Structure 1
Amino acid sequence: MIRVLGGGAAQGIAATLAPEIEAATGLAVDGDYGPVGGMRDRIAAGEAADLVILSRSLVESLAAQGHVLADSLVDIGDVATGIAVRETDPDLSCATGDALRGALLEADGIFFPDPQQATAGIHFAGVLKRLGIHDRLSDRFRTFPGGIPAMAALARSDLVRPVGCTQVTEILGSTGVRLAGLLPPGCDLVTTYTAGVTARAARPEAARAMIAVLAAPEAAAARAAAGFAG
């Protein structure tokens, strides 16, 4: 097994390309995905893994600290952050800051990942503050360890007009929800995700081979379908 610690954004593409990864390495993927801050802390604390897939800045930081091999870093792609609604809910407008503000004020529940550890959660909390509605809406917040559980909870919600926010990869990879639109200019966030082999990797060559599959030109369509650009 290839042990992977990754941000939630990486879960869908790793699952989609699992057959190709196994064909290239002879090994299945044992992945653990969640907020990037928590994954960084686990690697920094010495947890064993063969590779990490996190935001570029965190992987570069881990490499500078000696936890990830600097010569192994490869960008997988860029991931935007978007607004989600349940599959059966009507469209909402979020094309401008004012439209997003109005949509959030109309929502009776707002589902998003950890505002302390998750990339999208940290950013979205800041957006709410910039729009001047964070404190006004705080009793409607429904926060979760990561974007995938947040989207699962949104899909199950029996509220009248719930909305969610997380990275596009996590919206597209979840059932029962759909992408309403990207965060608008001035509120937007695009995160580059980077893979790297850890210094403690038990299977470093397999980890490099897995990274090659994830970043291969032949996988461009799969990456795009999963929400990665670039």
Structure 2
Amino acid sequence: MTLKILSGGAANGLVNACTADFTTATGHDISGDYGAVGAMRDRITGGEPVDLVILTRKIIDDLAHAGMVRPDSVTDLGNVVTGVGVREGSEVPDVSTAYGLRAALAGASSLYVPDTQRATAGIHVAGVIARLGLEAEMADRLRTFPNGQTAMATMVADAQDGAIGCTQVTEILNTPGVVYAGDLPEAFALSTVYTAAVAQDAEQPEAASTLIRLLSDPGAADLRRRVGFT
């Protein structure tokens, strides 16, 4: 049997880290699809079959209100911040201040980000660029992808000197070949709560509940921190 997940990209690393324990406990495999939270929400509201949903707390609350996920299964997994990453071996910029962040972005050969219309981090990064007055300057250097992990993996594969990635820390830490430069500075910070829930019409509701317990287990707090959840 296979458990089907639709999730924001931020939870990919955490699910991967718990997959072996889940399979041992249930005998199920996992089929996970990770992308922009807006795109995942639209697939769920469009009637796509799914067992487990992991999206932002607000979207999960909206889905619960609409009767699309089981309210008694709703479980917060933790907060995820947005930050900056560079390819391993590249100079790591100081992005701890607004001045440093602006200098890093302005000097980047390309900026790799998730979907700026439907992904939590991508929408936020687009707003940060506008607030820094770099919107026009960076328009031809902005590279967008369905989720942050795809953006980071492509940045590594492209091996372009001076490239920078900006997405949620979980997607940076979960991508080999990327070094975490740091959180966005306080004035531009974004921390997002990610939440899991069993789909109302789940074919594997018990297995979905088991995975939620593994993902949220207090004993797995160190694991969650390692993959970027706080």
Asked whether the two chains share a fold, i.e. TM above 0.5, the reply is yes
Per the alignment, do residues 227 and 45 of structure 1 end up closer, same or farther by CA in structure 2, a change over 3 Å counting? Answer: same
Q: Residue by residue, what CA displacement relative to the aligned partner does 1:194-213 show, whole Å, maximum 9, x if unpaired?
A: 00001110111111111011
Give the superposition deviation at 1:219: 1.3
1:78 partner amino acid: N
**Count of residues in correspondence between the two structures:** 229
Q: Which structure 2 residues correspond to residues 128-207 of structure 1 after superposition, within 5 A?
A: 128-207=129-208
> Aligned equivalents of 1:206 and 1:72: distance in 2?
12
**Aligned twin of 2:84:** 83
Give the superposition deviation at 1:135: 1.4
Determine if contact 2:87/2:156 at 8 Å carries over to the other structure: yes
**Aligned twin of 1:100:** 101
Secondary structure of 1:181 counterpart = strand
Q: Which structure 2 residues correspond to residues 22-101 of structure 1 after superposition, within 5 A?
A: 22-101=23-102
Determine if contact 1:25/1:210 at 8 Å carries over to the other structure: no
State TM-score, norm by structure 2.
0.97
Higher mean alpha-carbon deviation, 18-27 vs 115-124, is at 18-27
The answer for unaligned runs of 5 or more in structure 2 is none
Give the superposition deviation at 1:145: 1.0
1:49 partner amino acid: V
RMSD of Structure 2 on Structure 1 (CA):
0.9
Q: Residue by residue, what CA displacement relative to the aligned partner does 1:150-170 show, whole Å, maximum 9, x if unpaired?
A: 001111224321101000000
Higher mean alpha-carbon deviation, 124-133 vs 157-166, is at 157-166
Higher mean alpha-carbon deviation, 156-165 vs 2-11, is at 156-165
> Aligned equivalents of 1:157 and 1:187: distance in 2?
27
> Aligned equivalents of 2:78 and 2:139: distance in 1?
33
Q: Does 1:19 align with 2:20?
A: yes
Give the superposition deviation at 1:26: 2.4
**Aligned twin of 1:6:** 7
> Aligned equivalents of 1:185 and 1:110: distance in 2?
20
The answer for unaligned runs of 5 or more in structure 1 is none
Give the superposition deviation at 1:138: 0.7
Higher mean alpha-carbon deviation, 73-82 vs 158-167, is at 158-167
Secondary structure of 2:104 counterpart = helix
Secondary structure of 1:228 counterpart = coil
2:144 partner amino acid: T
Secondary structure of 1:19 counterpart = helix
Q: Residue by residue, what CA displacement relative to the aligned partner does 1:125-165 show, whole Å, maximum 9, x if unpaired?
A: 00001111111111111111110110011112243211010
Give the superposition deviation at 1:120: 0.6
1:83 partner amino acid: V
Secondary structure of 1:42 counterpart = helix
Determine if contact 2:87/2:159 at 8 Å carries over to the other structure: no
Secondary structure of 1:206 counterpart = helix
State TM-score, norm by structure 1.
0.97
Secondary structure of 2:187 counterpart = coil
Secondary structure of 2:124 counterpart = helix
Q: Residue by residue, what CA displacement relative to the aligned partner does 1:43-71 show, whole Å, maximum 9, x if unpaired?
A: 11111111100111111111111111111
Q: Residue by residue, what CA displacement relative to the aligned partner does 1:208-227 show, whole Å, maximum 9, x if unpaired?
A: 11101100012111111111
